[in-house]
Structure 1
Amino acid sequence: MMKNYAGKKMVIFLITLLLLLSFNVKSVSYKKEKVRIALYDSISPSVKLIESSLHYSWNAENGKYEMDVKRIDFKDVMNGSLKNYDVLIIGASGRQYFHALIPKWKEEVKEFIENGGGYIGICGGANIASMGYEKPHTFLDFIINIASLHIVDAYINDDQDEEWQYLWKEGGRANIAIKNEIMEGDIFAGMKKRYITYGGGPGLYKINNAKGLAKYVEEPSDIAPLHYWIWAGKWIPYKTIKTDIKGYYSSVETIYGKGKVVIFGGHPEIPPRINGSVDEFFGLSIYGIPRFVYSWVGGEQMNWSYNWWILRRAVAYVCNLPLPPSNELYVYVNPPSDGKIEAYAENAEKVEFYVDGNLFSIDYNPPFKIKYDMKGEHVIKAVAFDRNGGEAWNERIVNIQ
């Protein structure tokens, strides 16, 4: 009897232990948290790349974080909608200089950051966050000085007849690779140098409370020389454009009120082309203006997501979240062809295909693709997974008659 009783007690103990363990496992299961990103809209093509880079989620010890990016504009800032977001990103845009001439617009943005919202500025978005020009010369310099938010204690070296020419003369393919020396900071994941695309952004200087994260160690006009051109029976170059931002900070971080701020003079969203060369020709700029423009050709083209991890980590950083890994991850749904749809992917272990929100197929081997012959309009979504559990996604509306 005693032996049976002891046996029953042991069974009860084991069942109880298993139940306790099962409850414990349930209590530490992953939660999914949305990171609400407000992306200020722009006519610049790079805004689409910022948006694509942030179609991303990653795992951390305490849960899963998913970036939810939405484009906003002037009216969204004016009606107080920033309070619905965790971070504001302003990229390569000029419209914010004029929007910030309205005091309420400027107050809404500064109040959002002061109350704990994150801010990331890229190129023009870095200019407006700064102290502006120490010695303004042109009309636009004075406009930028009036518009500047003064949330980063750094002046900008970004002259109209020098650095800005890499924007004004852009002919649509301007992914000039400029080497950056990484000073410190978790965002760059301990790297010592990195090639980042340059497109006319500022060199930052005279920082006090702010912290320099990276410096330009190459001069854009040495790497990619541009010229002013004149007609003299034929087009001839009459003056070489000279920049002077080598040795200036290319990235800076600071605290404004309760909010974290990170700004970039370069473009982590645009994949650089290393060891390319300049091709100058008469054509249309990216703003539709006929003039002498340039393209950056040859060399080695890096992957689309080559530097996207920098931007993703910056978002997590200003939101006080665990940082995602410093690896590439990207997927793009190509148009249907020959009865199939292929998804181009970078650093993906597998790709899941969804049709109208329903899982359709999983492919573990590149080229990732599905057979497709469905008639009518459908939404095709591809989700790429890396080995760390990170996810990137892209979707396309397909209409086959």
Structure 2
Amino acid sequence: MVTASSIIMNRSLIMVFMRMPVQHHIRTRSVPPSCSKDFNREWFITMKRVLLCVLVIALTAPTIQATENVDISVAIYFSSVRRFAEEIEEPLQYSWTHEGATYTITPYIISKREVLEGKLSSYDILVIPGSGRHYLDALNPRWRSAVISFVENGGGYLGICGGANLASMGFQEPLSPNTLLNRSVLKIANVYVNDEQGEEWQYLWRSNWRYGGLPLNVSIPQNDNPIFGGLYGDLRSIRYWGGPGMYDAGKEDARLGPVTPLAIYAEEPMDVAPLHYWKWEGGTAVPARNITTDIRGQYAAIATTYGNGRVVLFGPHPERNTFFDGHVEEFPVRPKLAPFTWFIYNWVSDNASVISYNWWMLRRSVAWLAGYDMPPISEIAAHIEEPAYGLYIYGRKVIPSQHALVIGPLTITGVLVDAEEGGVYIDGELAYEGTGNVEISVHLVPGIHCIKMTAQRGNEAAWGERTIISLG
């Protein structure tokens, strides 16, 4: 393919050779003393014509594009629940090719130790997922200073739910239980958060993590940031678990850049999924009052800068799937502990999205934070469903665990989403080739094994990995 840049480059080379003086070219080649000046001049003219022919051929021949490999190193912070970090890791096991460059996101799960030892500089981006434990870690001035310096000096910060709260200016109210968290905030994004313990947080405290969380529509406003480019004016369903609404704080600090709203809450959680405080009357649980929220119209996602670094914050959870209809279901889980009964909720629906429905939000956020071109908006994924973390005995999960422990035969299940090609590898050996739903029965020898699923489509690739400890 002949490109404009190749034409300009090749024409420039021709002009350079056309304009070079004869004497310069004679000096570049050793000529025997017996050769006359006329011979030297004829030799140069001949060589000049040969070079012109070569350059003309190069001008009309296809241009070979060199491929550049770019690695984007992402640190995902793990403080209390490793699963939260791994749910971010999976969407970021991804690569794409754009205009001759292949970009590969390489995620690593890190802990408080790496932050305190000054190792953040080894990464391009830091991700703080949803968790309350981060607030405790950030009470340490060394931890807080390390993260702030990382961003100020050019690192990227991606905060989700609690990670968004942590990056903000905190809570605006002068005195409440929430303001205790203000001692931990990083103040690298010029927004306040609205995330009240008795209101929005109840959608976290009362959630069944597997079936809880509600689908909430956000609107995509027109803006100059490319992360949501192509979706301006649309509504998008995203899973919500009690995260913050954000709004402008208006603080004066030269390091704080302008705030760009990427998504705005188009619905109120209390309207989509009404929850209640309960009381016991005559041995029966009855609603005492409604749980209220007030984040509609506030920012669900923002992009900004701090010093030389970039920041993206999400209130809801793009790493989880969502639903396109359904209803909330409340139920008691400890009825014998009245009046301290704990009610939780499920979202009930048969119309769920694929797991990777919103993963592109994370991938494109990482690309923007690192200063690179956007990957496509796509759902490509290689998702391992089972075995998850727990002890499996003859294919049945009996107890949860921090590791995938297996006794006896095992069925590996998963899904290769939006893939043209896909496969499953066990310890590097191809065990399955295809796309769509995956189900493989295996009996692993005792030891540590690696399962890897891969998916590829066009210029995109995704993969998922899981370590299994087989006990025989």
Query: What TM-score do you get using the length of structure 1 for normalisation?
Result: 0.86
Is this contact kept in 2: 1:97–1:143, CA < 8 A?
no
Q: Does 1:236 align with 2:273?
A: no
Structure 1 pair 367–293 and aligned structure 2 pair: CA distance change class (3 A): closer
Residue 372 of structure 2 corresponds to: 321
Q: Does 1:126 align with 2:197?
A: no
Structure 1 pair 387–175 and aligned structure 2 pair: CA distance change class (3 A): farther
> What count of residue pairs does the alignment treat as equivalent?
381
Post-superposition Cα deviations, 1:329-366, rounded to whole Å, max 9, x if no partner, equal: 112344598897554211111113333235x2662454
Residue 55 of structure 1 corresponds to: 93
Amino acid at match of 1:240: N
Residue 21 of structure 2 corresponds to: none
Please give the residue correspondences for 1:223-302 in structure 2 after superposition, counting only pairs within 5 Å: 223-232=272-281, 233-283=283-333, 291-302=342-353
Residue 392 of structure 1 corresponds to: 463
Rounded to whole Å, the distance in 1 between the matches of 2:436 and 2:130 is: 34
Question: Offset of 1:203 from its aligned partner?
Answer: 0.8
Amino acid at match of 2:228: F
Rounded to whole Å, the distance in 1 between the matches of 2:237 and 2:293 is: 18
Rounded to whole Å, the distance in 1 between the matches of 2:289 and 2:451 is: 50
Residue 4 of structure 1 corresponds to: none
Is this contact kept in 2: 1:328–1:347, CA < 8 A?
yes
Residue 207 of structure 2 corresponds to: 170
Q: Does 1:85 align with 2:123?
A: yes
Post-superposition Cα deviations, 1:176-222, rounded to whole Å, max 9, x if no partner, equal: 11111111331123212211111111111125521111110100000
Rounded to whole Å, the distance in 2 between the matches of 1:372 and 1:65 is: 34
Amino acid at match of 1:58: W
Question: Offset of 1:299 from its aligned partner?
Answer: 4.7
Rounded to whole Å, the distance in 1 between the matches of 2:436 and 2:218 is: 33
Which of the two has higher C-alpha Rg?
2
Rounded to whole Å, the distance in 2 between the matches of 1:78 and 1:174 is: 34
Is this contact kept in 2: 1:59–1:390, CA < 8 A?
no
Residue 228 of structure 2 corresponds to: 188
Residue 6 of structure 1 corresponds to: none
Q: Does 1:348 align with 2:419?
A: yes
Is this contact kept in 1: 2:416–2:435, CA < 8 A?
no
SS at match of 2:368: helix
Please give the residue correspondences for 1:95-174 in structure 2 after superposition, counting only pairs within 5 Å: 95-139=133-177, 141-172=178-209, 173-174=211-212
Identity %: 37
Structure 1 pair 244–348 and aligned structure 2 pair: CA distance change class (3 A): same
CA-based RMSD of the aligned residues comes to 2.9
Structure 1 pair 241–373 and aligned structure 2 pair: CA distance change class (3 A): closer
Q: Does 1:68 align with 2:106?
A: yes
Rounded to whole Å, the distance in 2 between the matches of 1:131 and 1:312 is: 26
Residue 219 of structure 1 corresponds to: 268
SS at match of 1:186: coil
Structure 1 pair 385–362 and aligned structure 2 pair: CA distance change class (3 A): farther
Q: In structure 1, list runs of 5 or more residues that go unmatched.
A: 1-8
Amino acid at match of 1:133: F
Q: Does 1:311 align with 2:355?
A: no
Is this contact kept in 2: 1:46–1:269, CA < 8 A?
no
> Out of 69, 72, 75, which is 1:35 matched to?
72
Rounded to whole Å, the distance in 2 between the matches of 1:374 and 1:200 is: 41
Is this contact kept in 2: 1:175–1:271, CA < 8 A?
no
Bigger drift between 149-158 and 109-118 goes to: 149-158
SS at match of 1:144: helix
Structure 1 pair 339–115 and aligned structure 2 pair: CA distance change class (3 A): closer
Residue 255 of structure 2 corresponds to: none
Question: Offset of 1:97 from its aligned partner?
Answer: 1.1
Is this contact kept in 2: 1:138–1:160, CA < 8 A?
no
Q: In structure 2, list runs of 5 or more residues that go unmatched.
A: 1-48, 251-257, 335-339, 388-393, 396-408
Query: What TM-score do you get using the length of structure 2 for normalisation?
Result: 0.74
Bigger drift between 242-251 and 289-298 goes to: 289-298
Question: Offset of 1:149 from its aligned partner?
Answer: 1.0
Post-superposition Cα deviations, 1:342-398, rounded to whole Å, max 9, x if no partner, equal: 54211111113333235x266245445668566444323121112333333334537
Amino acid at match of 1:64: T
Amino acid at match of 2:298: Y
